[in-house]
Structure 1
Amino acid sequence: MSHHTATIRWKNQGPDFLARRYSREHTLHFDGGATLPGSPTPQIVPSPWSNPAGVDPEELFVASVSSCHMLWFLHVACDAGFCAECYEDEAEGIMTKNERGVLWISQITLRPCITWSGTKQPDASEVSHLHHLAHEQCFIANSIKTEVIVPS
């Protein structure tokens, strides 16, 4: 078992909390020492109560799925004897309303682009299989109900 922590800090800086006129900016502190500015997405909470420069929870969620998939993909590619040199993913999450009318991220599409080196190069079906194996092992994908798509 492993244990993971994050500390989220927010302080009321007004001007009127009860009238919903307050900044939602906050700071995310991770157990390894990384710190990120956090904010709700300006699409939901408009400026000045949000900051588009901050990372919103939805972005963190999409990044978490993408990062976990990448780490497992690199692992299974290595196991298969393929040498990855570069992995880049422009992941996207889609927010929709569920049957109760509540917004949720219903779908995440990963768009990985991998550069390979070495004499052993995977073909398209092998890459697809590696993505399948990575998805099966991904801790985050196994923890959510959101559909995760990796186009071929």
Structure 2
Amino acid sequence: MSEHHTSLSWQRDGGPFERGNYRREHRLSFERGQQLRNSAAPGYGGEADATDPEELLLAAVSSCHMLTFLALCANRSYTLDSYADDAVAILDKNADGKFAVTHVQLNPRTRFSGDRVPTAEEIVLLHERAHANCFIANSIRSTVEVRPQAD
């Protein structure tokens, strides 16, 4: 078991605070000192040059899947040279009629080298195992779809 902490700070800074008219930008601070400027998505009145919660959720799923995939490859003595993912999250109404991230699509592209290179079928199996063991994917109710891409 491990415990993780973040801090969030928001200030009105003298601006208006009324229905549909308030500042959405806030600061996220992480336990090891990193900070991030966050806001609502631009479609919900947020700042276009800040991250938003939906992007952070998507980034967490994508990053967790990659880190799990890297561990699986290293444990099998595959030399992975590169990994890239252009992930997509869909915000839509769920079965209860509430807005939620209902679908996450990962599109990982990998490049291997060395004497032991996994086949295309083995790469798919590695991604399936990475998805099954990803902490974040196991923590959300959204559908997470992994579509490995040939490089």
Q: How high is the TM-score relative to the length of structure 1?
A: 0.92
- Note the aligned Cα RMSD (angstroms): 1.2
Distance in 1 between residues matched to 2:92 and 2:21, nearest whole Å: 26
Match of 1:38 in 2: 38
**Pairwise CA distance, 1:13:** 2.3
Segments of 5+ residues of structure 2 without an aligned counterpart are none
Distance in 2 between residues matched to 1:19 and 1:151, nearest whole Å: 41
Amino acid paired to 1:135: H
Segments of 5+ residues of structure 1 without an aligned counterpart are none
The answer to whether structure 1 residue 145 and structure 2 residue 141 are counterparts is yes
**Pairwise CA distance, 1:15:** 2.7
Amino acid paired to 2:62: S
Distance in 1 between residues matched to 2:61 and 2:12, nearest whole Å: 31
Match of 2:106 in 1: 110
Match of 2:131 in 1: 135
Contact 1:72 1:137 in 2 (8 A): yes
Match of 1:95 in 2: 91
**Pairwise CA distance, 1:65:** 0.3
% identical equivalent positions: 39
Match of 2:23 in 1: 23
**Pairwise CA distance, 1:19:** 4.0
The answer to whether structure 1 residue 5 and structure 2 residue 5 are counterparts is yes
Match of 1:58 among 35, 54, 61: 54
- Structure 1 runs (4+) deviating above 4 angstroms are none
Distance in 2 between residues matched to 1:125 and 1:91, nearest whole Å: 21
Q: How high is the TM-score relative to the length of structure 2?
A: 0.93
